[in-house]
Structure 1
Amino acid sequence: MSKILALDTAADACSVALWLDGELISDHRLLPREHTKHMLPMIENILQHNSITLSELDGIAFGCGPGSFTGLRICGGIVQGLAFGADLPVVPVSSLAALAYPFAGENITVVASVDARMNELYTAVFQGQGEGFTVVDKEYLLAPESMSQQLLAQATPGNALIAAGSGWSYRDQFGDLKCMDLLACDTNAIPTAAAVAELSLARFVSGDTIAAAEVSPVYLRDSVAWQKSS
């Protein structure tokens, strides 16, 4: 797969990226609560400026969550519409993985955590492996007070810890993390479409894709419903 459009609106950014034969072009703008207004024009702009039409793409990747309920619904709807219209395969990418990806490295444990409101956090732990990383365990919805126990259960001894995401703003509620080497903490980090694009590449190549009708955001809260386009 050489031509992939990637989208992410799981946080405050309108994020669009285009992977073209090994070149990554991205447009990432912090526009809180303005996803509906800006996403489609940004998609049109990045395609036009790179002289490619939707029908010439090989697929679409998107940040499927967890994250902002409204942002995920908007992105899911856009992806469905575009994929249906151009008959394109889709790869959903964890928004927590996209958040963690820029920090990945060997002997590094990246803990991506996002404020889920209602005194809960979306959290996942990623383990560095050479130039990439892998998910240590599934994504969790948990209270800040449970974070310390969760981290200690999953982190690899001897690895440095990088903390990323708004969930780390609640660090004073996590409990004792003194036994872990905190290399860096970026509470302003958010997912990008560029990371979504890079994380989707191997899955497109292997055929690990879904159809437009199967597009569904990941909320982690069972009470949130997703209405698919007909």
Structure 2
Amino acid sequence: MSAMTRTVLLALDTSTEYCSVALLCSDSSADAAAAPPRTWVRHEETGAVSSTRVLPAVRELFAEAGLALADCNAIAFGSGPGSFTGLRTATGVAQGLAFGLDVPVVPIGTLLACAESARLNRPSVTRVLAALDARMDEVYWADYAWDDAAREWCAVAPPSLGTPGAVVAPDAPFTLAGNAVAAFGARLGVAALAEAIDEAALPHALPVAFAALRAYRAGHTVPAELAAPDYVRDKVAQTTAERLAARAAQSGEGVR
């Protein structure tokens, strides 16, 4: 009988107004199917102060699981896109923990986490258009297809930023995941083409952890010093003139 191999992975996501932390412990052996991982989660609405809550949440989860931080094999984090401040928080905490433990880091895109969440909610899902409100009248979006043979997502269209009308629909039946449809309604034209809409499939540490476990086992990790946010957008806010122009465009009036 082959010896059991245990993988302990900590996942963080602070890309939204939530502080989301998940601890995953997976036992597997070469001659037996892996049992479902055990998971512990904290997902709390903290607004702009996730940085004050993330480390206490980490300590709580390890205590609840009866594990020590030193048991960790890797640190995963939601790398973006999302709140600039939140992405820097998750990146910094993941780097600090990984340096201290001498373990690798697993960056997981937040749009990929939405696709993973949609599949966790409904395992039959194999094509996901993830679309998140990017503010400034724009959408973060990406198109993912599940490869059943590889047991992994394939990015048909990588993470992009555009107007609601510029989001491209997949060429196959798809689930629309994320909060863009709630933010933009009919202006997000692809919503009318979706086979299903999963507004609950949002950035969250649990889907980050599941996606990161596969990445870790495949060797897709980075050293702590190379962990970095994926902003997608390189601009954090609109100017006053841009905000006025956007409001005028929405109302169909010229700026006076």
Q: Deviations over 1:194-221 (max 9, x none)?
A: 1011001122112221111001000012
Q: Is 2:210 the counterpart of 1:198?
A: yes
Residue 144 in structure 1 maps to residue 164 in structure 2: yes
Specify which of 135, 143, 155 is matched with residue 135 of structure 1: 155
Does 2:106 correspond to 1:86? no
Cα deviation for residue 29 of structure 1 reads: 1.5
**How far 1:108 sits from its partner (Å)?**
4.2
> For 1:78-227, what aligned pairs fall within 5 Å after superposition?
78-104=93-119, 105-106=123-124, 108-130=126-148, 133-147=153-167, 150-151=168-169, 155-157=170-172, 159=173, 161-168=174-181, 169-175=183-189, 178=192, 180-186=193-199, 189-223=201-235
How far off is 1:132 after superposition?
A: 5.2
Deviation at 1:181, TM superposition (A): 4.2
Residues 47-90 of structure 1: per-residue CA shift (max 9 Å, x gap): 12222222221111111011111110111111111111111111
What TM-score comes out, normalization by structure 2 length? 0.77
From 4, 8, 14, give the equivalent of 1:3.
8
Distance 1:12 1:220 in 2: 18
Task: Give the RMSD, CA atoms, in angstroms.
Answer: 2.0
Q: Which secondary structure does the structure 2 equivalent of 1:117 belong to?
A: coil
State the alpha-carbon separation in 1 of the partners of residues 38 and 16 from structure 2.
Answer: 25
On the 8 A contact 1:106/1:128 being kept in 2, the answer is no
- 8 Å Cα contact 2:132/2:179 also seen in 1: yes
Instruction: Give me the whole-angstrom Cα distance separating, in 1, the residues matched to 2:126 and 2:232.
Output: 26
Sequence identity of aligned pairs in percent?
A: 33
Distance 1:51 1:140, change over 3 A: same
Q: Deviations over 1:98-147 (max 9, x none)?
A: 11212234464321111111111110112244475432221101111212
The secondary structure found in structure 2 opposite 1:29 is strand
Scaled by the length of structure 1, the TM-score of the pair is 0.85
SS in 1 for 2:175: strand
Q: Is the 8 A contact 2:115 2:128 kept in 1?
A: yes
Q: How is 1:31-46 mapped onto 2 (pairs within 5 angstroms)?
A: 31-46=46-61
> In the alignment, what sits opposite 1:56?
71
Relative to structure 1, the CA distance from residue 145 to residue 156 in structure 2 (aligned partners, 3 Å threshold; closer, same or farther) is closer
Q: Answer yes or no: is the 8 Å Cα contact 2:20–2:44 preserved in 1.
A: yes
CA distance, structure 2, for counterparts of residue 57 and residue 23 of structure 1? 14
Q: Specify which structure has the bigger relative contact order, considering alpha-carbon pairs within 8 angstroms and separated by 6 or more residues.
A: 1
